Amino acid sequence: MVEDKKMVTLAEVKDILAERQTDGELTAEQRLSLEHSQKFSRLDSKKAKKLIKELTELGFVSEINAVKIADILPSHPDDVRLIFSKERASVEKKDIEKILSIVQKYL
């Protein structure tokens, strides 16, 4: 059996676990994950999805990095550089500015 793996934001985790909580009892790990997502997600899931879509449309932001950006909502160029630190090519200053301007619209 092949499992589809999809990156989800903290906002989506919060929605998924809140829905499962209404359907029945959560495991200890799921309760901890729900608490964490409630404390640290700064966007609702609709805004997070829009932000991810807008970031990936730039062409140089992968879905994985877009999800990280949506969760962290960086406000400083160094924060963006850290997200892209594992990439082979470095992100140019103008690209970082594009990312930050998009993120700013969602704060």
7-34 pLDDT tens trace: 899 999 999 999 999 988 899 999 999 9
Lookup: tokens for 107: 């704060």
Q: Which CATH architecture has domain 45-105?
A: Orthogonal Bundle (1.10)
pTM of the model: 0.88
Q: What are the Cα distances from residue 67, in Å, to 4, 7, 53, 61?
A: 17, 7, 10, 10
The full set of domain ranges for the chain reads 10-40, 45-105
Q: Distance from first CA to last CA of the chain, Å, rounded? A: 40
Q: How many residues does the chain have?
A: 107
- The model's pLDDT over 31-65, given as tens digits with 9 standing for 90+, comes to 999 999 999 999 999 999 999 999 999 999 999 99
Give the contacts of 63 (CB within 8 A, at least 6 positions apart).
Answer: 7, 52, 56
- The model's pLDDT over 77-105, given as tens digits with 9 standing for 90+, comes to 999 999 999 888 789 999 999 999 999 99
| Number of Cβ atoms within 10 Å of the Cβ of 26 | 15
